[in-house]
């Protein structure tokens, strides 16, 4: 039995990595409960193992937020198919009232987002506030239900450590940020802990 377990662990390195604590500088430690566009509940720690781009938005935002999706698509477009398959993109909404899984799903369909790679998510106000604090995103809810917020993309390594940020959003990727994404995707999954 023991040998079987060992064999299983060796056969599935991802499982072994998941068993170790996250590094102290990983934002995936935030233990909030998130819900994705399909209604599936998840913790950020479950997103360990992939290089990912994280950003915050809300669907009823007319101007900047569509650009956040353009940004993600722009980066995907600039990558090779192998790189694209390895990258994950997570957009978390500020708006837990209006951005239900149904609304998030509708947006994913409208923008032709591949939900194998893209996750649109919502969470309770406390988790949103903490995630924003970890990412350095600032926001304020306005009286009419809209949000004023800083916008940007944050690149995390497979362990959830912040590698790069950019304030430049839109379909044409920030060259420096894109280079950081490509470099990150070339690194093997890091199992080292500081």
Partner 1 sequence: MRDVLLAILLLPSIAHAGKDYVQVPAGTYRSALKYEEVKDDTRVAAFELMKTPVTNAEFLEFVRAHPEWQRDRIATVYAEKANYLSHWSAPLELGMAAKPQQPVTQVSWFAASAYCEAQHARLPLWAEWEYVAAADATRRDARNDPAWRESILGWYAKPSTTPVAEVGQSPANAYGVQDLHGLIWEWTEDFASMLVTGDDRSQSDANRLKFCGAGSLVTQDRENFAVLMRVAMLSSLEAANSTSNLGFRCARSLTDGGSP
**Positive/negative CA dihedral, 121, 113, 111, 106:** negative
79 binds partner 1 (CB under 8 A): no
The C-alpha atoms of residue 73 and residue 71 are separated, in whole angstroms, by 5
Q: Which two tokens stand for residue 67?
A: 């650009």
Shortest separation between residue 1's beta carbon and partner 1, angstroms: 33
Q: Does 61 engage in binding with partner 1 (CB under 8 A)? A: yes
Site string for partner 1, 155-184 (x = CB under 8 A): ------------x-----------------
Nearest approach, Cβ of residue 12 and partner 1 (Å): 26
Confirm or reject binding of residue 65 to partner 1 (CB under 8 A): yes
The verdict on 151 binding partner 1 (CB under 8 A) reads yes
Location of structure tokens 């903490």: 130
Find the binding residues for partner 1 in span 103-122 (CB under 8 A).
none
Q: Three-class SS of residue 70?
A: helix
Nearer to partner 1, 61 or 184 (CB): 61
Of positions 17, 45, 49, 64, contacts partner 1 by CB under 8 A: 64
Q: Please count the other Cβ atoms lying within 10 Å of the Cβ belonging to residue 156.
A: 25
Contacts of 113 (CB under 8 A, 6+ apart): 69, 107, 120
Q: Does residue 148 interact with partner 1 by CB under 8 A?
A: yes
What is the Cα–Cα distance from 1 to 118, expressed in whole angstroms?
38
Which C-beta is closer to partner 1: that of 80 or that of 150?
A: 150
Two tokens, residue 55: 């950003």
Question: Could you give the CA distance from residue 177 to residue 15 in angstroms, rounded to a whole number?
Answer: 30
Closest CA to 59 of 44, 81, 37, 33: 37
Instruction: For the segment 125-144, give every residue that binds partner 1 (CB under 8 A).
Output: 126, 129-130, 132-134, 136, 138-144
- Enumerate binding residues for partner 1 (CB under 8 A): 24-27, 29, 61, 63-65, 126, 129-130, 132-134, 136, 138-144, 146-151, 167
């Amino acid at each position: 039995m023991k040998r079987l377990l060992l064999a299983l662990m060796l056969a599935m390195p991802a499982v072994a990595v998941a068993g170790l604590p996250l590094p102290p500088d990983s934002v995936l430690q935030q233990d909030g409960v998130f819900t994705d566009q399909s209604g599936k509940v998840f913790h950020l720690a479950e997103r360990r193992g992939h290089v990912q781009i994280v950003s915050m938005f809300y669907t009823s935002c007319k101007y900047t937020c569509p650009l956040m999706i353009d940004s993600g698509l722009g980066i995907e477009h600039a990558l090779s198919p192998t790189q694209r398959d390895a990258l994950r993109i997570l957009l978390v909404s500020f708006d837990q009232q209006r951005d239900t899984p149904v609304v998030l799903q509708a947006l994913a369909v409208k923008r032709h987002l591949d939900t194998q790679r893209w996750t649109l998510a919502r969470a309770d106000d406390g988790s949103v506030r903490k995630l924003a604090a970890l990412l350095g995103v600032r926001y304020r809810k306005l009286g009419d239900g809209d949000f004023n917020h800083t916008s940007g993309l944050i690149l995390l390594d497979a362990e959830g450590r912040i590698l790069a940020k950019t304030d430049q959003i839109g379909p044409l990727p920030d060259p420096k940020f894109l280079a950081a994404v490509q470099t990150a995707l070339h690194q093997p999954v890091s199992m080292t802990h500081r």
